[in-house]
Structure 1
């Protein structure tokens, strides 16, 4: 690499001065390294933060008053707070049981309780929410008049919390709806099909803190830069591969599966078309499993079985947001009976089976269910 004349001049003077002081002379390599560092810093000044991204999206809608951008900024603040708490959970003695049980009958971790409080307060204080539905609260939360806005947010404040103690990635999941009449909101306004969702996302707390978001115009991933305290766009316009080499399911439940699920997993292990078997990857944290599926392709399965006839994952704040993201990324989702987003929930904590991921992989299991229904259930 040729150095510009000014750089040669500076380097020569530096070498001469260093020699006069009888100090070690800097090498050309060290000089170039410093120059590269300066160039890298210059590039860092043109970063696409999640706030800047939201404002750009807002600019595409001249009628927008910025309400959604403000709401998103409060969600982002909640994610930053929880990310910090997760990173120091052991030191802060946040690991362990809080001594209470949530509406799902699951023992609450201290970090669960803290995360729920953080998001409830952040969302209410935004002044843009009307109704909140959280996994940790038995009833929906209706925001008081002075702080009431036009959005409903359904969220799981800390998905995969059973993995806290062993350091596995966990996360926050959220879905956002618009309420027609904020002054007369009822529970019926919350029980909308996923097709009415206007935005969805998740924040994964792991080796890095990653927030994946869709506002109905594709899917983008942002990674938290701790030195800046900002989420930076690192995964623009995420598209899931049309077919994948990974399937993700809890095979410990295999004895209770229905025939289509069992046949599909058997095909993953022992394909009859001469192709290579799929690899099994199952973490047990929905955010982590779906994130991997979104980036690498494949399929995530949580079917109904003999123990959980209605499945286990919750519709409003797990199934719908993840299905929304998958469809926006070019994949699809399926309940075993219908497109997941077309399901109409009848209660806020309703559960559903779910198969989501690469378009081709979900098509395969849809065809198995179609064959099952045409021939009748197996004995």
Structure 2
């Protein structure tokens, strides 16, 4: 099991870590394909450090990646499934720090929908805290693995975005080259519309304008797409364009959304920017933010740069946005 990295200028240490990630991803894809035969990968296994329910595959993926990365250049490891940072070895001149969501979208396991892995690789500092609690712009490499009809790895090293697809015969990840820039035309938006009653004025008004379609201020129709796996939603937007929103809302514990900055939002923001798009917390660039703790949340908006800027404009004029939202949700006028 190998990842084709020919032509990429990576340090030996980073290349080795990427190979290890690919090895585990290939093994997970094989295991996922046998779900129900070897056991129920969606079986409950308690609650993780962030308060989300754990599935069997969450634990399996976390343990598999951690085991494979020990002995590599990764000195510090951070996982959504663990309470705290882990130290794998001493810090050397080329040491790395890796943060990840080992299994993203685990609620999709039992319905055979796409799930994934999200990871961010930083240069290691003298401590785990200094390695991870820093601006997202310090990331060396960020990417996703999507386990679906195809198993894909999409990653950036800061010079564009590269795509790899797992060959089910050789179980190697074959390089498909650098991806095209993110499409500028926005035809689709991704948001969990079931939370609409909890949104603030700006988000409610923006989504209402999209839903109004050709009869609204945008003058055209939009489709909504929501995979409920961030890695898969990111792959779709990188390939097909659009915009993704997971805002904070009025519910207790959701004031800053539910996505984690360090190992979910920051690496995807890095990829999106490298593809020509933009990523914010609604107003501020994601990669300019600094997390205060391992599992801290942030609202997250990403996609076509002009559409992300439009959403920021809604946030900056909350009064006007609120009036638009009131009109939209009162129903058709007599």
Write the deviation string for residues 305-356 of structure 1: whole angstroms up to 9, x where unpaired: 0011011100011100111110000000110231011111000000000000
> Is this contact kept in 2: 1:248–1:281, CA < 8 A?
yes
Answer yes or no: is 1:302 the counterpart of 2:254: no
Determine which of 26, 36, 59 is the counterpart of 1:80. 26
- 5 Å-filtered alignment, 1:325-364, equals 325-364=271-310
SS at match of 1:345: coil
C-alpha spacing 1:132/1:377, structure 2 compared with 1 (3 Å):
farther
Corresponding residue of 2:102: 157
Considering fraction of residues, name the structure with more helix. Answer: 1
- C-alpha separation between the residues in 2 aligned to 1:149 and 1:117? 24
C-alpha spacing 1:237/1:146, structure 2 compared with 1 (3 Å):
closer
Corresponding residue of 2:123: 178
SS at match of 1:341: helix
> Is this contact kept in 2: 1:51–1:69, CA < 8 A?
no
- C-alpha separation between the residues in 2 aligned to 1:247 and 1:136? 29
Deviates further, 93-102 or 163-172:
93-102
> Is this contact kept in 2: 1:129–1:148, CA < 8 A?
no
C-alpha spacing 1:147/1:226, structure 2 compared with 1 (3 Å):
farther
Per-residue deviation at 1:377?
A: 8.0
- 5 Å-filtered alignment, 1:249-288, equals 249-271=191-213, 272-273=216-217, 275-288=219-232
SS at match of 1:351: coil
Q: Which runs of 5 or more residues in structure 1 are unaligned?
A: 1-48
Per-residue deviation at 1:96?
A: 3.5
- 5 Å-filtered alignment, 1:204-223, equals 204-223=146-165
Q: TM-score scaled by structure 2?
A: 0.90
Determine which of 75, 89, 111 is the counterpart of 1:166. 111
Answer yes or no: is 1:52 the counterpart of 2:22: no
Q: Which runs of 5 or more residues in structure 2 are unaligned?
A: 327-334
- C-alpha separation between the residues in 2 aligned to 1:175 and 1:341? 12
- C-alpha separation between the residues in 2 aligned to 1:82 and 1:322? 21
Per-residue deviation at 1:235?
A: 5.4
Per-residue deviation at 1:239?
A: 1.4
Per-residue deviation at 1:97?
A: 2.5
Answer yes or no: is 1:318 the counterpart of 2:264: yes
Deviates further, 98-107 or 139-148:
139-148
Corresponding residue of 1:14: none
> Is this contact kept in 1: 2:205–2:321, CA < 8 A?
no
SS at match of 1:202: strand
Deviates further, 335-344 or 273-282:
273-282
SS at match of 1:175: strand
- C-alpha separation between the residues in 1 aligned to 2:208 and 2:192? 14
Per-residue deviation at 1:243?
A: 2.6
- C-alpha separation between the residues in 1 aligned to 2:102 and 2:248? 24
- C-alpha separation between the residues in 1 aligned to 2:167 and 2:295? 34
Determine which of 199, 215, 235 is the counterpart of 1:291. 235
C-alpha spacing 1:264/1:148, structure 2 compared with 1 (3 Å):
same
SS at match of 1:293: helix
Per-residue deviation at 1:274?
A: 5.9
| Aligned residue pair count | 319
> Is this contact kept in 2: 1:202–1:211, CA < 8 A?
yes
C-alpha spacing 1:254/1:376, structure 2 compared with 1 (3 Å):
closer
> Is this contact kept in 1: 2:4–2:174, CA < 8 A?
no
Write the deviation string for residues 142-189 of structure 1: whole angstroms up to 9, x where unpaired: 113499961010100000001100000000000000024xxx324132
SS at match of 1:51: coil
> Is this contact kept in 1: 2:209–2:218, CA < 8 A?
no
